[in-house]
């Protein structure tokens, strides 16, 4: 558990440094400036990329949850919608996470088939993220409470 604990502590520390230094707010401002009102469509993509890179939904939410809240504030949207979009995207990223694929191939005796599995799941991941983006876009606009 030592390696896992060190990883979790490092991710939380990175989040705190990014938050306290203003990096999260700066990144959110740039993303909103580039995408405008369509930002909710890409919110799940950010969650998926976070999980793809870290291998963990929780880590992606720790790293990018505050980013989604800051983006929502910049757009005048309900932050719960974008936080939910990030979490949904994080679950999509778990499908294509190299760590998850490696564990799955080792557990099922399919070592060496990682590329095939990634290609097969990538389509589902993309469709899932697109649907989540559409839901976040329209849901955030309709239910902006």
pLDDT at 144: 66
pLDDT digits (tens, 9 = 90+) for 2-60: 887 888 888 889 889 998 999 999 999 999 999 999 999 999 999 999 999 888 899 89
Please check whether residue 100 is in contact with residue 60, taking contact to mean a CB–CB distance below 8 angstroms: no
Instruction: Please state the pTM of the whole predicted model.
Output: 0.86
> Each residue of 116-132: pLDDT tens digit?
999 999 999 999 999 99
Q: Name residues whose C-beta falls within 8 Å of residue 53's C-beta, 6 or more positions apart in sequence.
A: 60
- Which one has a higher pLDDT value, 27 or 143? 27
What pLDDT score does 123 carry?
Answer: 94
């Amino acid at each position: 558990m030592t390696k896992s604990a060190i990883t979790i502590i490092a991710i939380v520390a990175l989040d705190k440094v990014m938050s306290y230094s203003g990096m999260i707010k700066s990144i959110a401002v740039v993303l909103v400036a580039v995408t405008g009102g369509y930002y909710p469509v890409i919110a799940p993509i950010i969650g998926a990329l976070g999980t793809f890179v870290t291998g963990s939904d929780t880590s992606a939410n720790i790293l990018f949850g505050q980013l989604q809240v800051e983006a929502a504030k910049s757009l005048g949207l309900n932050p719960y919608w974008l936080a939910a979009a990030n979490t949904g995207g994080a679950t999509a990223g778990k499908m294509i996470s190299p760590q998850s694929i490696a564990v799955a191939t080792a557990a099922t005796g399919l070592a060496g088939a990682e590329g095939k599995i990634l290609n097969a799941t990538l389509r589902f991941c993309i469709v899932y993220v697109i649907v989540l983006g559409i839901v976040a876009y329209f849901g955030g606009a309709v239910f902006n409470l």
